[in-house]
Amino acid sequence: MKLGVLFSGGKDSNYALYKADKTDEVQVLITLDSENEESYMFHTPINAVEKQAKKLKISLIKFKTKGEKEEELKDLKKTIEKAKKEFKIKGVVTGAVASTYQASRVQKICDELDLWCFNPLWQMDQEKLLRDLIKDGFKFKIVKVAADGLDDLWINRIIDKKAVEELIKLKEKYGININGEGGEYESEVVESPLFRK
């Protein structure tokens, strides 16, 4: 099946792409560039998407949005519609892991556009997800932090096995989500098994 992937350049969208690529044909990456750093729907920053799209050798549709709550969903729908028309996609892949807010809204848009919504990481154990990313050859770093226990020393830090153990300790101490699902941090993939050298 021809699919589009909602793509931020972070670990979850890259891993969802990796999972979808095993079974289907990924035709296009769909990125919303939000002016609102506090966007409910979209990952910020998204500095690496163009570079990653080139390394993946997959087309990219990028659309700017003001990031206003609920209004940004209209921008998302327009962008997915464009991908459906131009790339003949039959479904949309998301990197949603635990956010019902995001998953339900993307599902609604897909229903309205008669597209399949595929969430390969949905409800995955957070610790297992981080360990699987590392095991499957992904190298990713933290590019933004916003939680107690995560200071500027975490910015640009590669998440390896040692870092996962530290995140688990921070979860125990501060109650953070180790996968960043509560906005604790944003990530960027540096290396992926799907990147073409």
Percent of the chain residues topping a pLDDT of 70 = 93
Can you list the domains of the chain with their CATH numbers?
2-123 (3.40.50.620), 126-190 (3.90.1490.10)
pLDDT over 70 at 42, yes or no: no
pLDDT over 90 at 197, yes or no: no
Give, to the nearest 10 degrees, the angle between helix 100-112 and helix 71-87.
50
pLDDT over 90 at 51, yes or no: yes
pLDDT tens digits, residue range 160-193? 999 999 999 999 999 999 999 888 999 999 999 9
Angle, CA of 25, 10 and 141, to the nearest 5°: 135
Decide: 87 and 2 in contact? Cβ < 8 Å.
yes
